[in-house]
Amino acid sequence: MMDHSPKPPEALMRAIAQDLRPVRPSPQPLQLALRMVPLALLVSSVILLAIGPRHDAVTLGPLLTWGASAAQFVLAIVLVWIAAHESTPVGRLPRQVVCLATAAASLLVVFVTLLTFWTGPANVPVLPVPPRVNEMLRISPWITGFACGIGSTLAGAILILFFSRLFRNSMVTRPTVAGALYGVGAGLAINAGWRIACPFSTPWHALGAHGAAIIATVLLGALMGRYLGNRKLKIGSRLS
Amino acid sequence: MSEGDQELRALMIRYQGGSLEAFQEIYAQVAPGVRRYLLHLAAGSEIADDLLQETFLQMHRSRAAYNPNYAVKPWVFGLARNVFLMNRRAARQRAKILEPREDLPEFPVLPEADRIGSQDEIRRGLACLSPDQVEALLLHHEWGFSFEEIAGMLGITAAAARARASRGMADLRVALTTLQRSRA
């Protein structure tokens, strides 16, 4: 049985003394979330820089093209802020707030998808590529589905890796939940950029490929959170 | 912010700057309370002593994640709760169950409840309450955390934390009365 006096045990002191390099205090969750804006913006805009906005952007109008994506991006940052709170042992938000934000994210994606399809039902790819490629994509739309699904998931994975680097030492109470929240934020931020570039508005493509990419990013985030959470157990070896 | 809070925050900032003495001082001020909290979470199991050391080891590894805007004590208690939960998850994964001691768990005795029953009766009374109620009750009455701080630790609203603590206190009174009547 250890000594219960308020003096730290020798073994603990030795472990602490081994690594006493000065560290910078962590910023508040809001500052952390805002720090991620530039990278999230950059990663989600890569596709736009590569192939430009969709050909029917004029038909959709600036509000539905850029405004809806801006709303998704803002909600994504809110979700990252909630995840940053969840990652703080003493700053967790009530479960209702977490559930509400997640439900709002799902509803926003579905609503924007349906509204986009209703306003501009584009189902023919018009990409800045040789006509033969456009024809091939028209005949086999699943290729575009795969490209959008896998491309958005990979972009989301980059953000997840960045988020996990920032929060790897935060001692999260529910690491899987926190990771999944980062995943929703990352997926939503990526979708905000990809939906402006993607030439298809059909719900099966938008919800099937882009929606699946968001779900895949959430799962990636949850797995990453779980991995980081379990990793702590190995570090926390007993001292006696 | 109380004077004790301020002192702990200043110590934490010094500790983040690399002071071993600051760590020792934080340990001296916080460890006894954290140990009692871990004893409560682990239902009096002797694993609480190991978890206490693990908590401070994790505090050291996570010291950069501390923000001076947060009070130190609830932050360390939150870490202790995480360490306990991680340990429980690992124990489940290894299909081992933490076996509580056969005697009653070493619940801290609430100062307010002390007037309405003996220590033994209060322990028995607390054992009758739901774990959520006991945790909120002890965090507020025994360790003096505000309902906002408890809410941040447990991921609930401050109103829910208040309700759990006050229902817990009401149920404890009922449990004590029943115990005393059955003995009379």
Structure tokens at B109: 């005795």
Rounded CA-CA distance A32/A187 in Å is 18
In this structure, is residue A90 part of a structural domain? yes
Rounded CA-CA distance B143/A191 in Å is 46
- Reported confidence tier of residue A19, pLDDT bands at 50, 70, 90: confident
Which residues touch A155 (CB under 8 Å, ≥6 apart)?
Answer: A43, A44, A46, A47, A190, A193, A194
Q: Does B141 contact A at CB distance below 8 Å?
A: no
**pLDDT at residue A127, as a whole number:** 66
- Reported confidence tier of residue B91, pLDDT bands at 50, 70, 90: confident
Q: What percent of chain A has pLDDT over 90?
A: 45
**pLDDT at residue B20, as a whole number:** 93
* For residue A51, pLDDT beyond 50: yes
In this structure, is residue A63 part of a structural domain? yes
- HSE-up of A52 (CA within 13 Å, CB side)? 8
**pLDDT at residue A1, as a whole number:** 44
Compute the average pLDDT of residues B48-59: 90
**pLDDT at residue A167, as a whole number:** 73
Query: Which tens digit of pLDDT belongs to each residue from A205-221?
Result: 889 999 999 999 999 99
Rounded CA-CA distance A88/B140 in Å is 20
Compare CB distances from B50 to A25, A96, A238 and report the shortest one's residue.
A238
Residues of the domain holding A42: 27-232
Q: What is the distance, to the nearest Å, from the Cα of residue B113 to the centroid of all Cα atoms in its chain? A: 17
In this structure, is residue A95 part of a structural domain? yes
**pLDDT at residue B113, as a whole number:** 60
Rounded CA-CA distance A76/A190 in Å is 9
The pLDDT mean for chain B works out to 83
Compute the average pLDDT of residues A12-40: 89
Compute the average pLDDT of residues A7-20: 86
For residue A64, give the DSSP letter: I
Question: Which A residues, 24 through 43, put their C-beta within 8 Å of a C-beta on chain B?
Answer: 24-28
* For residue A17, pLDDT beyond 50: yes
The answer to whether B155 touches A181, Cβ cutoff 8 Å, is no
- Reported confidence tier of residue A236, pLDDT bands at 50, 70, 90: very low
Instruction: Give start and end residues of each alpha helix (H) in chain A.
Output: 10-18, 29-35, 37-51, 57-62, 68-86, 95-119, 131-139, 141-167, 175-197, 203-205, 211-235
Provide the residue type at A27 as one letter: P
**pLDDT at residue A240, as a whole number:** 38
* Of A231 and A145, the one with more pLDDT: A145
The answer to whether A82 touches A98, Cβ cutoff 8 Å, is yes
B66, B88, B106: best mutation site toward chain A, by most A Cβ within 10 Å?
B66
**pLDDT at residue A238, as a whole number:** 45
The answer to whether B20 touches A20, Cβ cutoff 8 Å, is yes
Burial class of residue B182, CB neighbours in 10 A (0-12, 13-18, 19+): exposed
The CATH T-level fold of domain B1-104 is Rna Polymerase Sigma Factor; Chain: A (1.10.1740)
Query: Which tens digit of pLDDT belongs to each residue from B99-122?
Result: 444 444 555 556 666 666 777 777
Structure tokens at B153: 């630790």
**pLDDT at residue B109, as a whole number:** 56
**pLDDT at residue A5, as a whole number:** 53
Rounded CA-CA distance A232/A85 in Å is 19
B86 contacts A19? CB cut-off 8 A: no
Would you list the DSSP string of B86-98?
HHHHHHHHTT--P
For residue B142, give the DSSP letter: I
| Residues of A whose CB is below 8 A from B23 | 8, 16
Q: What percent of chain B has pLDDT over 70?
A: 85
Rounded CA-CA distance B76/B31 in Å is 9
The answer to whether A195 touches A50, Cβ cutoff 8 Å, is no
Rounded CA-CA distance A51/A32 in Å is 31
Rounded CA-CA distance B14/A22 in Å is 9
* For residue B152, pLDDT beyond 80: yes
Rounded CA-CA distance A223/B156 in Å is 24
pTM of the model: 0.81
Three-class DSSP category at A44: helix
- Reported confidence tier of residue A69, pLDDT bands at 50, 70, 90: very high
- Where are the domain boundaries for CATH 1.10.1740.10 in chain B? 1-104
A169 contacts B61? CB cut-off 8 A: yes
A189, A192, A198, A204: CA torsion to nearest 10: 90
In this structure, is residue A158 part of a structural domain? yes
**pLDDT at residue A219, as a whole number:** 96
A171 contacts B82? CB cut-off 8 A: yes
| CATH top-level class of B107-184 | mainly alpha
Compare CB distances from B27 to A1, A8, A23 and report the shortest one's residue.
A8
Look at A219-233, B28-42, B155-169 and tell me which has the smallest mean pLDDT. A219-233
Q: Does A18 contact B at CB distance below 8 Å?
A: no
**pLDDT at residue B155, as a whole number:** 87
Split into its structural domains, chain A has a count of 1
Rounded CA-CA distance B4/B141 in Å is 17
- Reported confidence tier of residue A172, pLDDT bands at 50, 70, 90: confident
Q: How many Cβ atoms from other residues are within 10 Å of residue B32's Cβ?
A: 14
Q: What is the distance, to the nearest Å, from the Cα of residue B61 to the centroid of all Cα atoms in its chain? A: 21
A94 contacts B156? CB cut-off 8 A: yes
* For residue A75, pLDDT beyond 60: yes
- Reported confidence tier of residue A235, pLDDT bands at 50, 70, 90: very low
B53 contacts A90? CB cut-off 8 A: no
- Where are the domain boundaries for CATH 1.10.10.10 in chain B? 107-184
* For residue A63, pLDDT beyond 80: yes
Rounded CA-CA distance B151/A92 in Å is 7
Look at the block and give the residue holding tokens 């490629």: A133
* Of B146 and A170, the one with more pLDDT: B146
Query: Chain B closest CA to A130's CA: distance in Å?
Result: 51
Rounded CA-CA distance A212/A205 in Å is 10
